[in-house]
Amino acid sequence: MIFYTDGALIAPALASSALLVGKIWDAINDPLFGWLSDRTTSRFGKRRVYMIFGALPLAITIMLLWFVPRGLPDVWVFAWIAVTFLLFDTAWTLTNVPYYALTAELTDDYDERASLTAFRMVLGVPAYIVGAALTPALVGLFESKRIGYGWVGVIYGLLAAAVLWIAAAGLRERKEISQSKAHTSPLQTLLATFRNKPFVRLIVAYLVANVGFALIKTLLAYFLTYQLGMEAQVPLVMFLLLLFVALFLFPWKKVSDRLNKGPAYAAGLALGGLAVAATFLLPPGPTPWVYPL
């Protein structure tokens, strides 16, 4: 969003409405591509095949995200953002739903799955730090934000393809799972999922929490820039935020082991929610209190 508004100088309402089209498609394609992956059998495996052959399209669509042609009428700007985001989201879902599915398929052990998730998240944090904290610094190396963000798209697109290929090269799917095939339709699968009452409660909680966290991720750079007047500190704040994510992943796994996952999730939401609510008390203008929060 901050690229579209502050780099490409597109009206916020226009950019966000176009992105909404892509997010609606995202809600549809996640279960659809999951079902497609479940029904796939190939010599490259059930999941790895999408990571291998989807990496290059993903790279191209990431590059397109960060480029908006100049001088287009609003209707064509809307169409460009919506179409490029639709293409990106399709490539992203096609490669990442199979990737995430592998977490549950590499082992049947309950605690080992939690451990795998923790390691995956810890090793993902350096990439988040690059994306969120170093992007403004990279953009600043170029003569304009528009050109800087364009090159960021090229760099991140190539990185995305490279890491997918590296991950696919290092994974081995279990034979009994990779050769199995789902026989139910997407609709039957979806209905069966919603008959699982504890899972329904979980995804409702996940939906509510993620509405809040999505707003935070989108608006944090704007809040720091326009409310606190701390644009130069955006990379530092993002770095600290993600650093503490990394530092507390394994301690929080220990909490999860002791309390069980549900209470640990609730405690984490309460802690995060209180910290976000406290930002309401920050006065306008630069303040050091943003760092402990």
**Which of the listed residues 185, 213, 239 is the one where a domain comes to its end?**
185
Which two three-digit tokens encode residue 287?
């303040």
Pair (138, 223) in one structural domain: no
Between CA 133 and CA 140, with CA 134 as vertex, the angle to 5 degrees is: 120
Pair (165, 82) in one structural domain: yes
**Confidence at 180, pLDDT banded by 50, 70, 90:** low
pLDDT tens-digit series, residues 238-256: 888 878 887 887 888 889 8
Pair (106, 212) in one structural domain: no
Max avg pLDDT among 3-12, 181-190, 281-290 = 281-290
pLDDT at 120 over 70: yes
Measured CA distances, 195 to 11, 109, 188, 201, 233 (Å): 42, 25, 11, 11, 47
pLDDT at position 164 is 92
pLDDT at position 4 is 87
Pair (180, 203) in one structural domain: no
Mean pLDDT of the chain, nearest integer: 86
Q: Give CA–CA dist 139/145, Å, rounded.
A: 6
Cα 217 to chain centroid, rounded: 10
Interval 197-201 mean pLDDT: 90
The verdict on residue 72 lying in a domain is yes
Pair (256, 152) in one structural domain: no
The verdict on residue 101 lying in a domain is yes
The verdict on residue 191 lying in a domain is no
pLDDT at position 178 is 61
CATH number, domain of 101, equals 1.20.1250
Residue range of the domain that includes 126: 1-185
pLDDT at 288 over 90: yes
Measured CA distances, 118 to 130, 164, 230 (Å): 19, 19, 32
Q: Give CA–CA dist 160/95, Å, rounded.
A: 10
Pair (138, 215) in one structural domain: no
pLDDT at position 181 is 67
The verdict on residue 258 lying in a domain is yes
**Confidence at 112, pLDDT banded by 50, 70, 90:** confident
CA dihedral 7, 9, 14, 15 (to 10 degrees): 0
pTM for the model: 0.73
pLDDT at position 214 is 81
Pair (168, 280) in one structural domain: no
pLDDT at position 41 is 80
pLDDT at 42 over 90: no
Pair (37, 154) in one structural domain: yes
Count of domains observed in the chain: 2
pLDDT tens-digit series, residues 181-194: 667 777 787 788 88
Which two three-digit tokens encode residue 135?
């992007």
Pair (149, 11) in one structural domain: yes
Pair (47, 135) in one structural domain: yes
**Which of the listed residues 185, 217, 243 is the one where a domain comes to its end?**
185
The verdict on residue 190 lying in a domain is no
Q: Which of 35, 56, 36, 52 has its CA nearest to residue 44?
A: 52
Which two three-digit tokens encode residue 69?
């042609």
Q: What is the 3-state secondary structure (H, E, C) of the chain?
A: CHHHHHHCCCCHHHHHHHHHHHHHHHHHHHHHHHHHHHCCCCCCCCCHHHHHHHHHHHHHHHHHHCCCCCCCCHHHHHHHHHHHHHHHHHHHHHHHHHHHHHHHHCCCCHHHHHHHHHHHHHHHHHHHHHHHHHHHHHHCCCCCHHHHHHHHHHHHHHHHHHHHHHHHHHCCCCHHHHCCCCCCCHHHHHHHHHCCHHHHHHHHHHHHHHHHHHHHHHHHHHHHHHHCCCHHHHHHHHHHHHHHHHHHHHHHHHHHHHHCHHHHHHHHHHHHHHHHHHHHHCCCCCCHHHCCC
pLDDT at position 262 is 86
The verdict on residue 221 lying in a domain is yes
pLDDT at position 111 is 79
Q: At residue 244, what is the residue type?
A: F
Pair (1, 142) in one structural domain: yes
pLDDT at position 179 is 64
**Which of the listed residues 185, 205, 240 is the one where a domain comes to its end?**
185
The verdict on residue 267 lying in a domain is yes
Pair (66, 181) in one structural domain: yes
Is 246 within 8 Å of 122 (Cβ atoms)?
yes
Residues above pLDDT 70, as percent of the chain: 97
Please tell me which residue, 186 or 258, carries the higher pLDDT value. 258
pLDDT at 143 over 90: no
pLDDT at position 177 is 67
pLDDT at 176 over 70: no
Interval 28-33 mean pLDDT: 86
The verdict on residue 68 lying in a domain is yes
